[in-house]
Amino acid sequence: MSDTVLIPGGRNVRASLDTAASDDARSDAVVVACPPHPQQRGHRGDVRLTAASDALSERGIDCLRFDYGDWDEGYGESTDADNAVAWATARYERVGLFGFSFGGTVALVTAASRPGLVGVCALAPTARLNPDVDAVIALGGLVDLGVPTRVLYATRDSTADWEPVVKRAEELGIETEAFESDHFFVGRAGDVGERVAAFFGVRLDGD
């Protein structure tokens, strides 16, 4: 089941809250999902985000997929992610953060200022969106905060500048996982969703 949500914060940010189908009480865990580049048609219906949401739902975990507000070169988009996390933390006991490509960078940077998150998973993040939204720098902050982190990447990715992120993650002892794929994970969305759900599952549902 999916409901439309308006995220407060002064920007026009709308989201879809996918609630896990269960006979039990409402889930107390949610993953906020950040879409890819909005100027390259990135949106909350991105196949990698919906695949992750489907896999999370099977584990009894909700997913909040949101669209960014007006384009702001990564600044406003990071604010949008932070506001989405704030919305989620006001309603759920446990919150994780996920993003793909541009959204992966947004997720890492946002998580570095959110010590209460149970984890952050970034799929094919690019190194930097602007001088202040830098995934490589954010990784050090995540280690300092003790936020569990995983970076997933594609070995044939020629779109995102992912190499500096993976290199720094490995230097810091952060989990990384490679896919034999291109940037868009063509034909691998289901695999991606399962790996994202597996990362969050051990932190959100105890599996």
pLDDT, tens digit (0-9, with 9 covering 90-100), for 124-177: 999 999 999 999 999 999 999 999 999 999 999 999 999 999 999 999 999 999
Tokens of 164: 């500096």
For residue range 87-131, list pLDDT tens digits in order: 999 999 999 999 999 999 999 999 999 999 999 999 999 999 999
Sorted by where each begins, the domain ranges of the chain are: 2-204
For the chain, the average pLDDT equals 95
Residue carrying the six token digits 């720094």: 168
The predicted pLDDT at position 1 comes to 83
The predicted pLDDT at position 207 comes to 43
The predicted pLDDT at position 22 comes to 65
CATH superfamily, region 2-204: Alpha/Beta hydrolase fold, catalytic domain (3.40.50.1820)
Q: pTM of the prediction?
A: 0.96
The arithmetic mean of pLDDT across residues 37-51, rounded, is 97
Cβ proximity of 46 and 85 under 8 Å: no
